[in-house]
């Protein structure tokens, strides 16, 4: 298959919207690869923290991102062979990821790495700019949202499940601040692609959301 013909489904949306869960399930159902682009920003942030790199040092951060010794094995995320799947989910790491994601040199450093996930038979990519910047010609683009309340509840459940302590009020504040930062930054802000399908999952289960995405994808494939 020609590289440009490898199908890509993009699922963008705000943090804790459930897009990761939905994207993984869609990928598994279709037998496609999965790109969790947020994990790359989180890995860069974690790496910076461990190496005491200042979060304002764009040049040093971009270098870390360009040489990120990461790999993905099933649901596990490795940084230099260490399993950091849980460590990158800490709120402090997510907040640092959101800050460094506003730096153009960091985004540029991660650009090529993300494109390399596009291999046959197909890719499901989740993030903020998958449909707008990375894969603007993807045959299916989804913008997945949920209310701040629903997202705070989901993030709370996720954090407690991983053994982190969490407080709903703090999470609500955190999510709103992160939304504002991700949506208002100058480069690759969080926004739906013009041809994106909207999916508000506030009152939906993950499986219902997966069915909606698969339904749209079946329609797109039939039309081509």
Site of interaction with ligand DC (CB under 6 A): 15, 37-38, 41-42, 94, 97-98, 101, 127-129, 178, 182
The per-residue DSSP string of 87-141 comes to: GGGSHHHHHHHHHHTT-HHHHHHHHHHHHTT--TT-EEEEESSIIIII-TT-SEE
Considering the complex, state which of residue 37 and residue 201 has its C-beta at the smaller distance from ligand DC: 37
Q: Rounded to the nearest whole angstrom, what is the least distance from the CB of residue 127 to ligand DC in the complex?
A: 3
Q: Which is nearer to ligand DC, 182 or 197 (CB)?
A: 182
Is the Cβ of residue 97 or residue 209 nearer to ligand DC in the bound state?
A: 97
Choice between 91 and 200, CB closer to ligand DC: 91
Question: Shortest distance, CB of residue 182 to ligand DC, whole angstroms?
Answer: 5
Name the minimum Å distance from CB 13 to ligand DC: 8
Give the residue carrying structure tokens 């450093």. 109
DSSP 3-state assignment of 181?
helix
Q: Are 8 and 121 in contact (CB under 8 A)?
A: no
Least distance (Å) between residue 203 CB and ligand DC: 21
Contact between residue 178 and residue 98 where contact means Cβ atoms under 8 Å apart? yes
Smaller CB separation from ligand DC, 31 or 181: 181
Within 8 A by CB and 6+ apart from 58, the residues are 103, 104, 105, 106
As to burial, measured by CB atoms within 10 angstroms (0-12 exposed, 13-18 middle, 19+ buried), residue 135 is buried
Q: 124 near 9, Cβ under 8 Å?
A: yes
Least Å distance between CB 175 and ligand DC?
10
């Amino acid at each position: 298959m020609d590289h440009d013909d490898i199908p890509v489904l993009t699922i963008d949306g705000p943090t804790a919207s459930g897009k990761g869960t939905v994207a993984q399930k869609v990928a598994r159902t279709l037998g496609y690869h999965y790109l969790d682009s947020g994990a790359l920003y989180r890995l860069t942030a974690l790496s910076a923290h461990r190496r005491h790199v200042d979060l304002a040092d764009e040049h040093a951060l971009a270098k870390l991102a360009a040489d990120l010794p990461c790999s993905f094995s099933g649901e596990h995320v490795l940084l230099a062979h260490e399993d950091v799947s849980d460590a990158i989910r800490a709120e402090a790491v997510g907040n640092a990821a959101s800050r460094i994601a506003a730096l153009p040199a960091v985004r540029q450093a991660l650009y090529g790495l993300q494109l390399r996930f596009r291999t046959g038979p197909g890719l499901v990519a989740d993030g903020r700019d998958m449909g707008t910047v990375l894969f603007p010609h993807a045959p299916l683009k989804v913008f997945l949202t949920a209310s701040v309340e629903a997202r705070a509840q989901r993030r709370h459940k996720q954090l407690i499940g991983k053994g982190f302590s969490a407080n709903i009020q703090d999470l609500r504040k955190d999510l709103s601040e992160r939304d504002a930062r991700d949506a208002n930054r100058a480069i690759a802000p969080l926004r739906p692609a013009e041809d994106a399908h909207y999916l508000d999952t506030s009152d939906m289960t993950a499986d219902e959301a997966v069915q909606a995405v698969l339904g749209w994808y079946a329609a797109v494939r039939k039309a081509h």
